[in-house]
Amino acid sequence: MTADSGHARPVDEPVGHPTEGHSTGGLPNALAETLRYGPFHRALHDAIAHRGLSLARLRAHLEQQGVQVGQSTLSYWQRGLRHPEVPRAIATVRALETVLKLPPESLVALVGHRPQPRPPRSTWLSPAPPPAEFESVADAGANTDLDVLSVHDTVLVGPEREQRSVTTRLVVRAAKAGPDRFLAVHRGDGGGLADNALVRTGEGCRLGRTRRQHPAHGLAFELLFDRRLAEGEEHVFSFTVVDDTGGPTPGHHRTFHGACRGYLLQVAFSRRTLPARCTKQFRGDTGASPVDLEELVCGLGGFVSAYFEDVGPGVAGVGVEWT
């Protein structure tokens, strides 16, 4: 459990401060208090709740102000999973003040002008961190010279509720001249057999060295490009992991150890066995409990999709519940 102590009340608080339950400036006293002392995410959450707006409606109002921002970003901000970047997000925060009818600069003051550290470049893009015995596969600094721009996962689930395959397409950009491969890690569902997992490469790469971790059903593998990339060069490649030996899947989650502009996850279920519930989930740390961002609709076609904008670092995915 995480608690935020906020800030202590100044000793020179005016005697005429309104009593609890009254409002000031047209705002409930509790909201005015949070706007004064923070933190930002709590003030934003309380302001949205006070206006009674859904995130979809809030995003629509912001678009009318000429501001484009993702619904997932707004959700991350109000839950404290992420913080607006300064100075890029200041215009968006000011637009939020307008839409939510807050005093000018009230949210901006809570954002502050603290420097936002640049997330480390992704060393691993995987459903889980690499096991220690996979270190022989990874050259020092694996993937550190590649920026991950986009990831698209397509997961196929069979009629026995088992995860059958995961097809991944990535767009990367070379941060410096020289990278010619990408190192990925796959972790199957519980009860699976590592020896039966198969990697099939698609466009833009071929399979290099592989290592398997039997107890945890782990698989690490190199994806070799056909050339060394020049600095700033973008490269698209894809691969599929075929692995249908596990039990009923609890869903699919991918770990991002650095920033990624966009992550699209699609799960295709057998029409013979549809899930009872699917949720879009995110957690900022691999050891934390996932936060349900929204319910996902599984249509008659058996597809659910979840898109994450400006994701990472953290774990993003879709949780699945069965009857």
Is it the case that residue 84 has pLDDT exceeding 90?
no
CB 48 within 8 A of CB 100: yes
Q: What percent of the chain shows pLDDT beyond 90?
A: 42
Claim to verify: residue 84 and residue 129 sit in the same structural domain: no
* Distance of alpha carbon 94 from alpha carbon 60, whole angstroms: 15
Is it the case that residue 37 has pLDDT exceeding 60?
yes
CA 139 vs. chain centroid, Å, equals: 27
Secondary structure of the chain: what % helix, strand, coil (to 5)? 20, 35, 45
**Residue 41: helix, strand or coil by DSSP?**
helix
Verify cis geometry, omega within 30 degrees of 0, for the bond prior to 87. yes
73: domain CATH number is 1.10.260
Q: Which domain holds residue 91?
A: 23-111
Domain count, the chain: 2
CB 152 within 8 A of CB 168: yes
Final residue belonging to a domain, choices 58, 83, 111: 111
Mean pLDDT of 8-17: 31
Confirm whether 6 is domain-assigned.
no
**Cβ density class 199-224: b for 16+ within 10 Å, e for less:** bebeebbeeeeebbbeeebbbbbbbb
Confirm whether 10 is domain-assigned.
no
Q: Look up the pTM and report it.
A: 0.60
Confirm whether 29 is domain-assigned.
yes
Claim to verify: residue 136 and residue 103 sit in the same structural domain: no
Claim to verify: residue 159 and residue 202 sit in the same structural domain: yes
Claim to verify: residue 149 and residue 288 sit in the same structural domain: yes
Final residue belonging to a domain, choices 46, 80, 111: 111
Claim to verify: residue 106 and residue 129 sit in the same structural domain: no
Claim to verify: residue 71 and residue 141 sit in the same structural domain: no
Which residue would you say has higher pLDDT here, 259 or 193?
259
Confirm whether 14 is domain-assigned.
no
Claim to verify: residue 191 and residue 165 sit in the same structural domain: yes
Question: Which DSSP string corresponds to 182-198?
Answer: EEEEEEPPTT--GGG-E
Claim to verify: residue 196 and residue 102 sit in the same structural domain: no
Is it the case that residue 166 has pLDDT exceeding 70?
yes
* Distance of alpha carbon 137 from alpha carbon 143, whole angstroms: 12
Claim to verify: residue 155 and residue 92 sit in the same structural domain: no
Is it the case that residue 141 has pLDDT exceeding 60?
no
Confirm whether 18 is domain-assigned.
no
